[in-house]
A and B are shown apart, each in its own frame.
Chain A
Amino acid sequence: DAGVTQSPTHLIKTRGQQVTLRCSPKSGHDTVSWYQQALGQGPQFIFQYYEEEERQRGNFPDRFSGHQFPNYSSELNVNALLLGDSALYLCASSPTGTGSNEKLFFGSGTQLSVL
Chain B
Amino acid sequence: QKEVEQNSGPLSVPEGAIASLNCTYSDRGSQSFFWYRQYSGKSPELIMFIYSNGDKEDGRFTAQLNKASQYVSLLIRDSQPSDSATYLCAAVEYGNKLVFGAGTILRVKS
* A interface residue numbers (CB < 8 A to B): 31, 33, 35, 40-45, 48, 55-56, 58-59, 90, 94, 100-102, 104, 106-109
Q: Are B102 and A101 within 8 A (Cβ)?
A: no
**With contact pairs A42-B102, A101-B34, A102-B49 given, residues A56 and B97 touching in the complex (Cβ less than 8 Å):** yes
- Number of A-B contacts defined by CB within 8 Å: 56
24 A–B pairs (Cβ distance < 8 Å), ordered by A:
A31-B96, A35-B98, A40-B102, A42-B88, A42-B90, A42-B100, A42-B101, A43-B88, A45-B97, A45-B98, A45-B99, A48-B95, A55-B95, A56-B97, A58-B97, A59-B1, A90-B43, A100-B96, A101-B49, A101-B96, A104-B98, A106-B45, A107-B43, A109-B43
| Nearest chain B CB to A14 CB, angstrom units | 24
- A29 to chain B minimum Cβ distance, whole angstroms, is 12
Q: Which among A40, A56, A102 is the interface contact of B95 at CB below 8 angstroms?
A: A56
Interface size on B, residues (CB 8 A): 24
| Residue-wise interface mask of B (62-104) relative to A, using a CB-CB cutoff of 8 A (1 in contact, 0 not) | 0000000000000000000000000010101001111111110
On whether the beta carbons of B102 and A56 are closer than 8 Å, the reply is no
Shortest A16–chain B CB gap in Å is: 28
In the assembled complex, how far is the CB of residue B88 from the closest CB belonging to chain A, in whole angstroms? 5
| Alpha-carbon separation in the docked complex, A109 to B43 (Å) | 7
* Nearest CB of A to B22, in Å: 15
- 6 shortest interchain CB distances as A-B pairs: A42-B100, A106-B43, A56-B95, A45-B97, A42-B102, A43-B100
Q: Which residues on A sit within 8 Å (CB–CB) of B95? A: 48, 55-56
- B46: CB under 8 A from chain A? yes
Q: Give bound CA distance, A55 to B46, whole Å.
A: 23
Interface: B42 (CB within 8 A): yes
Q: Is the pair B44, A44 in contact by a Cβ cutoff of 8 Å? A: no
Kindly report which residue of chain B lies nearest to residue A56, judged by CB atoms.
B95
